[in-house]
Amino acid sequence: MRSGSSIIHRRSTGGWILLWVVLFAFSLWTIFPLFWAVVTSFKFTGDAYDPTFIPWVQFKPTLQGWRFVLITAGERTFRSLKNSIVIAFFSSAAVLFLGSMAGYALARFVFRKWKNKDIAVWILSNRMFPPVAVLIPYFLIMRTLRLLDNPLSIIIAHTILNLPLGVWLMIDFFRDLPRDLDDAALIDGCSFMGAFFRIALPLVAPGLVAVFVLSFIFSWNEFIFVLVLGFNKAITIPITIAGALTTKGLEFWKVATMSLIGVIPVVLLATFISRFLIRGLTMGAIKE
């Protein structure tokens, strides 16, 4: 018995050691790009290509990059930051509104001529093809509507791009709610819309937060639609970062500084609502 228990104990200890090694390696792999960006943002232009990481020991820190991004090119930087916030916020709000209504309908009602499952699969299929496949049609539509280089065109594109994810997530969130709650609301005199807005939506609030944050992040990082539909007034942070590639090469100090500026709003958003985000992402994970 002792030998068997000792073998189990050694296996358990070895498993924990392996787990900690994997977690440490993954954390190092994840955190190092952020650490590199912070260090590089305080380097001179010539030092940005050197593999040095300790300030005042291996290199002399400077605010040259931050002055250029925030002052010299401040107008372009803040315009792209404002556009990113506006586009990501309104497209995520549209995804949340349309996705919650579609998800509730597919979770609560039964469609006969076109089955619920087929509708959901068709919605998901719109997200399966690469976005580049619809760039030319989107460009022609926005040109006809005179919306090129207008944040509204990118909001529409991002809403269509993220809507399938929002619908599928909301279907699962509403399916986890007991139908008895809707029936009780209808008996008490609520309409279907009243039951939706007064009963169902408040109960899936963490799920709504999860859908909004995920859509916000996808819209914030999206590049190809902004590149094609906007070129001056509607540029976003990813386009500004890509502008660091010049005829002289890639300016790493500019990329690092702009990347840090672009990360801050998303990190703040996720930090403030992390509690609701975790609850929303784990809704439906445990079945009774």
What does the buried/exposed string (b/e) look like for 157-188 if buried means 16 or more CB atoms within 10 Å of the residue's CB? bbbbbbbbbbbbbbbebbeebeeeebeebeee
Q: What is this structure's pTM?
A: 0.84
| Chain centroid offset of residue 131 CA | 16
249: left (phi over 0), alpha (psi -120 to 50) or beta: left
**pLDDT tens by residue, 159-205:** 999 999 899 889 988 888 888 888 888 888 888 888 888 888 888 88
Could you give the CA distance from residue 237 to residue 194 in angstroms, rounded to a whole number? 40
**pLDDT tens by residue, 9-60:** 555 777 788 888 899 999 889 888 888 888 888 888 777 777 888 888 888 8
